[in-house]
Amino acid sequence: MESTGFSYVVVEGPIGVGKTTLARRLAAAWGADTLLEAPQDNPFLPRFYENQRAGALSTQLFFLLQRVRQVRELEQRDLFRSLVVADYLIEKDRLFAGLTLDADELALYEQLFVQLVATSVQPDLVIYLQAPVDVLLQRVATRGIDYELGIDADYLERLVAAYTRFFYHFEAAPLVIVNAAEVDFAHGDADFETLLDKLSSIRKGRHYLNPLPF
């Protein structure tokens, strides 16, 4: 495994921005393990995209419990023995809850979140990928997951705004904000190698990276 100076790296961003693709590629480059969301395992998610109001609470609670279980399994196997790259920050779960739950549901959710997440391990680097809503919609359509095709622009607008607010105040770890609108981390070797080079020197603070030039 290549020495990076990191033990737990998280790639974050809204639906369709490419976080899982980048997380997998970073893990491959660094010889690291991955910690990836598994939305396909959530039986309530297709129902949510058909009727957000009816399916919101069950969908959100499933994701919360799934993510908490994954992170706890990671902690139990001694996270710091090897580098791990994840495609989600567990605290972001609240963003989706705030967008989809009514007041009573959100109060119930918050009680569970505080009890379950209070002591979760924090990453030592977060990479936040940004892209406009039209780009996100295009990427969602391109990957062609049936239940995602019902995502509308209004929902993504609100999600992007929630991510912007969240990371505006984020100080829990070094943060790299990447303009991913025209970056192809799946196939673009030059973009990816430039990102790797920049990450090697980041140990604290907030950094902004644009595609041309980084």
Distance CA 64, CA 209 (A): 30
* pLDDT of 212: 52
Asked whether the beta carbons of 143 and 21 are under 8 A apart, the reply is no
Asked whether the beta carbons of 199 and 124 are under 8 A apart, the reply is no
Angle between helices 93-100 and 52-76 (to 10 degrees): 170
pLDDT band at 1 (very low <50, low <70, confident <90, very high): very low
For 118-135, what is each residue's pLDDT tens digit? 767 789 999 999 999 999
> How much is the pTM?
0.92
Residues of the chain above pLDDT 70, percent: 94
CA-wise closest residue to 179 among 4, 13, 20, 8: 13
Distance CA 160, CA 164 (A): 6
Written as six digits, the tokens of 11 are: 């790639």
CA-wise closest residue to 60 among 26, 107, 121: 107
Q: CA Rg, the chain, in Å?
A: 17
Domain boundaries, the chain: 8-209
Report how far apart the first and last C-alpha atoms of the chain are (Å, whole number): 25
pLDDT band at 79 (very low <50, low <70, confident <90, very high): low
Distances (CA, A) of 4 to 32, 74, 134, 186, 200: 10, 19, 34, 21, 6
Does the domain at residues 8-209 carry the CATH identifier 3.20.20.150? Answer: no
Query: Coil, strand, or helix at residue 128?
Result: strand
Written as six digits, the tokens of 212 are: 């041309």
